[in-house]
Amino acid sequence: MFNGIIFNKGLLFKTFKRPKGINIFIKSDLNLKKKDLGVSVACDGVCLTLISIKKNIMEFYLSNETIIRSKFKYLNKNEIINLELPLKYGQKISGHICQGHVDTVGKILRKKLQLTLILEIIQ
């Protein structure tokens, strides 16, 4: 579980094509160690499992389904990736609870810019 508040970023270092997906390598200053293998990390909102870490480079596997259903179908080397570690028991939740798993997909039909003006009345 995540709270949706981004405190960390990483750089997409490289990708490696696999028969049924890809492995991505993200360089980051997150303080993760070998003991953290298997931890979930939200990468641009997508829950991914850490499969290796070496010299601040984290490795994750993405299945073809994850690629199709997420922004990762548009990967570019050196792209900045938002990173979020999972909540810990007792940790303050200052955002909202989210999982990082795809439940459904939608299509943007149109964009509309809306400006809201808020006035403070001083008496």
What HEC string does 33-88 produce? CHHHCCCEEEECCEEEEEEEEECCEEEEEEEHHHHHCCHHHHCCCCCEEEEECCCC
Q: What is the pLDDT of residue 93?
A: 67
Confidence band (pLDDT; 50, 70, 90) for 73?
confident
pLDDT digits (tens, 9 = 90+) for 6-43: 779 999 999 999 999 999 999 999 888 899 899 989 88
Instruction: Break the chain down into helix, strand, coil percent, rounded to 5.
Output: 10, 35, 55
Confidence band (pLDDT; 50, 70, 90) for 65?
confident
Specify whether domain 1-123 bears CATH 2.60.40.10. Answer: no
Write down the domain spans for the chain: 1-123
